[in-house]
Each structure stands twice: as structure tokens, then as C-alpha cells.
């Protein structure tokens, strides 16, 4: 039986919370989806407006959901093994070398479609293997025609770098070359790399547009494009850059479109960008079924940093991603945690490319236990074995919340997410 924090009081309402000192979880009452119908609302965040996206009047039940570990999930039975796909033998060997045997649902359903040359809309949760779902068939496409040029457009530099790293593993000893073009990294080096033949250009919309303006990238030579995490690019205001870039590409073209959500705006982009696409949807829900979600109530007399300190001293908090609302807040929290003896670093948009990569690398390799991030900086991050996500500051929208907690509980592992509520 879970027990409630003894410091809780009836004046705080009936919602229970996670107590750092009592080492207990308890559930908040839920009604329907947990979203309020009062006033203008977006994803359960009442009263959020353009001028004030962060409103403390939250239906906290949004943040409480037990993982479904006790319920046997529906087992997906793939139609293929990786050895069944009609791809080059060298590519199959590299897939085997990476330890891939059974495709994930998005890989199982998307790879044959892409191999056929069809446009595709892939709707899948984060961490479901989307990168391999488009890289494997596109690498085979290049092996069949060495003059093939492919553009991969993503919302963040970290995601671009991760995709290129995956590409290099799949293309080992194949003489397939790529260049990663992202903001925050020296553009001169990228320009020099673009002078060579690169079958893959992987980058963010802003930097791609900059290099097009400098006449370094000629999109008339690119007949294949991947739009990965298209919903995030839309959220981040890249829609005009996306339209401009695709408008410079030849028609017909081969377009691969991946998104975690399917909003009205996304549907408009699909209609404008794709030609008779095949839709593959393996999305299992808004939040990962294997992520325990709960709240930490900040009571009168408590300080958030002390509550966080108590949490981080617990044995199972071994790799923790903390979300802060602001860049300044991320830096300050990281410094405070370091002064308390925790190995910590921060990542946000004001840090340059090298600083962000050092912080991310240290977290991935367990050199630091805690990484404090802002929403934009953490988009697209694929970090294995994150034990906990902590929302030190409440996210602005439900979509941001979904993205944040998706950084844990990846690859079938169980994760935990906590949200501080004042």
C-alpha cells in the first residue's frame, strides 16, 4: 500500500502526489481524459494564452498515469524479418552486425513501402525505430544508383547528428557519404564538405536554407526527401522554410513524411507535399504505456530544490533528465545541483554546438547523472536508459509534456516521469 506524505493538508485538495521523503507513489483521481473544459484550453492547460503559455491552474490528473506493466500488451507479430527485405546483401550484413533481427512495427510496415518508391506518411510514437525505417530502404536506393541524392530534414541539430551516426553504422564499408548541416556549427566546414559528392544531406531547415541561399546546395539534384518529426518542425515555426525547400525540389519526387501526431495543419502539409501517399500508423497513444507518471506537490514551506535533492539521492534515480522552462533556469539549476554534489550539466539553445554535444555526450556515457534541458534543446534526443524525466517546471502545452516524458521508457524499458506542481 502506498502512503501519502504526512505534510499534505486538506487545503491542497484531494490529489495525492509522490513524496520524496516517504518514498511512495499514489494516484490522483481522474475524470475522463483528465482535461478541463473550463475556458480556452489546450491539452489540459487551462487559461494558456499567447502571452502566458504557462498557467499554474492545471488539472494535475493529466500528469498521473500508472504504467501498464501489469497488463500484457498486445504483441505485434511482424510480417518480415530483416533478412526478408529486398535490400543489398552488404546492407543486410550491416543490419545483422548492428544486432537487428526483428523489425519494429514502423520498420516492418514502412520499409517495403519505401522500397517500392511510394510516398509515405509514418505516424509513430517517439523511440519506435523510425530512423531505421527510412534509412534502410534509402541506403538500398543509393546502392542501386550511386547518383541518387537524398535530403533529410529534421527539427534539431541533435536529431540530425543522431541520424548521421546511424547512417554511418548502416553504410560501413559501402563508400556512401553524408554531410550534416546544422546551425550552431561552423558553416565554413559544412561548405567545404558539400563540395564533395554526398548521397545524403542531413540538416535543419534554417541551415539548409542558408546554404541554398549561398548556392552551395542545389536542390534540383535531389529527388528524394525525408521530413522527420514534421510536427516538431511545424511547432518550431519552420513551415515557411519547409515549403520553400520542397518548392525547389524536382517533381515528381519521393517524399517520406514522419510525425508523432496528425493534426489539421499536418494534414494540410501532407496534401501539399506528398503524392498519393501510403499511411502507416503504429501510434499506440499519447503517452508511453510503460512510463509511470506522477506529480510532486510543492507544499507551503517546501522549496523545489530541496525536494529535487531528496529525489536525486534515491538509488533508482540513476540517469535523470530534468526539464526547465528557461535557458537561465536550466543553467542555474545545473549549477545548484553541482554545488550539492550531483554530477550535472545543462543543454539549451544559447549553448554553441560543441558545448551541447559535450553535455549530451557526457550524459549518454554516464559521466554526468543529471542533464537539465529546455524543451527546444531536448527535441529529438534519443538517449538510452533514462531512468526518470522530471518536469521541474510545468510544460507549456500537453504536446510538450508528451514529448518530454517520451525521453524515458524507450525501447520497451520501463520509465518514470514526475512533474512538480505548486
For the stretch 299-358, pLDDT in tens is 888 899 999 999 999 989 999 999 999 999 999 999 999 999 999 999 988 888 788 889
Q: Are 251 and 224 in contact (CB under 8 A)?
A: no
DSSP state of 128: S
Please tell me the class of the 10-71+289-421 domain.
Answer: alpha beta
Model's pTM, two decimal places? 0.67
List the one residue out of 81, 48, 15, 128 whose CA is nearest residue 400.
48
3-state secondary structure of 26: coil
Helix, strand and coil in the chain, % to nearest 5: 35, 15, 50
418 phi/psi in degrees, rounded to 5: -125, 140
**CATH topology agreement for domains 10-71+289-421 and 82-281:** yes
Cell numbers describing residue 352: 554553441
Give the model confidence (pLDDT) of 202-229 as tens digits: 999 999 999 999 999 999 999 999 999 9
Comparing 31-45, 55-69, 339-353, the range with the smallest average pLDDT is 31-45
What pLDDT shows up at residue 381? 72
Residue 35 pLDDT greater than 50, yes or no: no
Considering only residues 235 and 211, tell me which one the structure prediction assigns the higher pLDDT.
211
pLDDT in tens, 256-314: 999 988 888 889 999 999 999 999 998 665 556 678 899 998 888 889 999 999 999 99
In the prediction, which pLDDT does 131 show? 94
Report the CATH number of the 82-281 domain. 3.40.50.300
Instruction: Summarize the confidence of residues 12-39 as an average pLDDT.
Output: 39
Question: Taking a C-beta distance cutoff of 8 angstroms, is the pair 344, 371 a contact?
Answer: yes
Query: Residue 20: is its pLDDT beyond 80?
Result: no
Could you state, in order of their start, the residue ranges of all structural domains in the chain? 10-71+289-421, 82-281
Decide if 63 contacts 33 (C-beta within 8 A): no
Amino acid at each position: 500500500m502506498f502512503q501519502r506524505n504526512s505534510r499534505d493538508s486538506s487545503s491542497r485538495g484531494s490529489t495525492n502526489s509522490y513524496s520524496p521523503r516517504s518514498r511512495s507513489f499514489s494516484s490522483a483521481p481522474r475524470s475522463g481524459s483528465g482535461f478541463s473544459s473550463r475556458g480556452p484550453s489546450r491539452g489540459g492547460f487551462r487559461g494558456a494564452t499567447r502571452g502566458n503559455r504557462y498557467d499554474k491552474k492545471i488539472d494535475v490528473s493529466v500528469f498521473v498515469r500508472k504504467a501498464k506493466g501489469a497488463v500484457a500488451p498486445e504483441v505485434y507479430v511482424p510480417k518480415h524479418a530483416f533478412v526478408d527485405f529486398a535490400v543489398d546483401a552488404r546492407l543486410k550484413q550491416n543490419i545483422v552486425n548492428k544486432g537487428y533481427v526483428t523489425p519494429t512495427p514502423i520498420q516492418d510496415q514502412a520499409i517495403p513501402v519505401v522500397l517500392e518508391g511510394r510516398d509515405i506518411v509514418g505516424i509513430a510514437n517517439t523511440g519506435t525505430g523510425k530512423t531505421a525505417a527510412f534509412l534502410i530502404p534509402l541506403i538500398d536506393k543509393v546502392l542501386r544508383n550511386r547518383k541518387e541524392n537524398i535530403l533529410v530534414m529534421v527539427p534539431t541539430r541533435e536529431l540530425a547528428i543522431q541520424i548521421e551516426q546511424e547512417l554511418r553504422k548502416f553504410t560501413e564499408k559501402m563508400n556512401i557519404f553524408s554531410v550534416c548541416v546544422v546551425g550552431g556549427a561552423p558553416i565554413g566546414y559544412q561548405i567545404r564538405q558539400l563540395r564533395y559528392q554526398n548521397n545524403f544531406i542531413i540538416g535543419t531547415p534554417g541551415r539548409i536554407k542558408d546554404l541554398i541561399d549561398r548556392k552551395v546546395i542545389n536542390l534540383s539534384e535531389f529527388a528524394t526527401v525525408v521530413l522527420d518529426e514534421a510536427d516538431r518542425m511545424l511547432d518550431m515555426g519552420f513551415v515557411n522554410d519547409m515549403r520553400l525547400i520542397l518548392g525547389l525540389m524536382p517533381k515528381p519526387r519521393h517524399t517520406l513524411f514522419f510525425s508523432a501526431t496528425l493534426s489539421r495543419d499536418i494534414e494540410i502539409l501532407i496534401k501539399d507535399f506528398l503524392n498519393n501517399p501510403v499511411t502507416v500508423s503504429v501510434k499506440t497513444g499519447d503517452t508511453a504505456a510503460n512510463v509511470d507518471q506522477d506529480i510532486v506537490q510543492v507544499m507551503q514551506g517546501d522549496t523545489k530544490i530541496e525536494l529535487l535533492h531528496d529525489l536525486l539521492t534515491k538509488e533508482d534515480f540513476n540517469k535523470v533528465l530534468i526539464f526547465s522552462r528557461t535557458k537561465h533556469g536550466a543553467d542555474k539549476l545545473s549549477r545548484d545541483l553541482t554545488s550539492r554534489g550531483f554530477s550535472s550539466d545543462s543543454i539549451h539553445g544559447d549553448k554553441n554546438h560543441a558545448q551541447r554535444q559535450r553535455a549530451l555526450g557526457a550524459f549518454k556515457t554516464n559521466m554526468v547523472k543529471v542533464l537539465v534541458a529546455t524543451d527546444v534543446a531536448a527535441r529529438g534526443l534519443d538517449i538510452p536508459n533514462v531512468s526518470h524525466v522530471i518536469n521541474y517546471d510545468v510544460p507549456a502545452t500537453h504536446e510538450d509534456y508528451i514529448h518530454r516524458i517520451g525521453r524515458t521508457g524507450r525501447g520497451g524499458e520501463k520509465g518514470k516521469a514526475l512533474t512538480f506542481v505548486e
